[in-house]
Structure 1
């Protein structure tokens, strides 16, 4: 089992332990949840689970919170808006963020037509930057806290 969870939290180690237990059970090597926690803690360089638990935060940091006012760029267009949804994705490194823009944003660069959006959902990392890129290499979304 190999994980590279960044940032690591107590919650992410617990999730790893659950997956480890399931993987071991599938091959006929049942282990307790406590044993799985110990194995995962050691795999991250901690002496044991108690040491890891004391050193780590309960949750990973989030780029934004629901109800927060933000600004940034979506598909190269500036925006200001309200965060109406934040969900941590299964990789424990990215978030699905839904933002309601104050003013609709034209998401098409063509001068021949327009397509305005007032609510968008995008995947971003803990810094508010989308791993997905536009054709010119820029992040699809870049969130800046207002």
Structure 2
């Protein structure tokens, strides 16, 4: 039995760009097309009933994913880090629970009197590339680079 392959739906901005290119190409061929007609044609190409249906299904942005062994970097409690994803679990739309092993331990204590080094931490990263939890100065606990 043949397995059906499905393509990941592109972002709304990408779909709109496809419609714009289609309209431009058709106009260049002497077949003037309205923007609405081009949007409807793109919707049909992606298997949707109409543009509104496709627009509702398409993501605003592409969702980032993580895999164990992946190298990441960023800030943890304001300290730069590089490390490896030890575990990754999708929590909900765009949110990931990550366990990160730092290359170099990060001091998680602000005191001058003692230190608290962490080599591994767990955090839930949101769709914008940072945690919802914040420190007392309003900074996210973890912020990832190259989001």
| TM-score bucket (shorter structure) | 0.5 to 0.7
Look up the match of 2:120.
119
1:70 equivalent in structure 2 = 72
* Higher RCO (Cα < 8 Å, 6 or more apart): 1
Preserved contact between residue 75 and residue 140 of structure 1 (Cα < 8 Å): yes
Aligned to 2:87: 85
Aligned-partner Cα distance in 2 for 1:112–1:92: 41
Quick one: distance in 1 between partners of 2:70 and 2:113? 35
* 1:1-146 pair list within 5 angstroms: 61-89=63-91, 91-145=92-146
Unaligned runs of 5+ in 2: 1-7, 10-47
TM-score, normalised on structure 1? 0.56
- What runs of 5+ residues in structure 1 fail to find an aligned partner? 1-8, 11-45
Could you say which structure has the larger radius of gyration?
Answer: 2
**C-alpha deviation, 1:128, in angstroms:** 2.1
**Cα distance change on mapping 1:138 and 1:63 into 2, 3 Å:** farther
Whether contact under 8 Å (1:98, 1:122) holds in the other structure is yes
TM-score by length of 2: 0.56
